[in-house]
Amino acid sequence: MIPADTFSVTLSSFSLIALAEIGDKSQLVCMTLATRHRHWPILLGAATAFLILNILAVVFGAGVAAWIPERVTAGLVAILFGIFGVLTLMNEGHEDAGEVVEQPGQGIFLTTLLLLLVAEFGDKTQIAVAGLAGSLPPLPVWIGASAALITVSALGIWAGRTLLQRLPIHWLHRLGGLVFLIFAILAAIRAIG
| Among the ranges given (53-57, 90-94, 115-119), the one the predictor scored with the smallest mean pLDDT | 90-94
Radius of gyration for the chain, computed over Cα atoms and rounded to the nearest angstrom? 17
**DSSP labels for 11-51?**
HHHHHHHHHHHTTSHHHHHHHHHHTTS-HHHHHHHHHHHHH
Contact residues for 125 (Cβ-Cβ < 8 A; gap 6+): 17, 20, 21, 24, 145, 149
Spatial CB neighbours of 168, under 8 Å, sequence gap ≥ 6: none
Label residue 107 by pLDDT band (50, 70, 90). Answer: confident
Q: Rounded to two decimals, what is the model's pTM?
A: 0.70
What pLDDT score was predicted for residue 167?
Answer: 60
DSSP state of 92: T
Q: Which helix (H) or strand (E) holds 138?
A: helix 138-154
pLDDT at 109 over 90: yes
| Residue of 172, 41, 177 whose CA lies nearest to 114 | 41
Q: Is the pLDDT of residue 134 over 70?
A: yes
Q: What percent of the chain has pLDDT over 90?
A: 28
Query: For residues 120 and 54, is the Cβ–Cβ distance under 8 A?
Result: no
> What is the mean predicted confidence (pLDDT) over 113-135?
86
Name the range with the highest mean pLDDT among 26-35, 43-52, 105-114. Answer: 43-52
Position 96 pLDDT exceeds 60: no
Q: Which 8-state DSSP code applies to residue 106? A: S
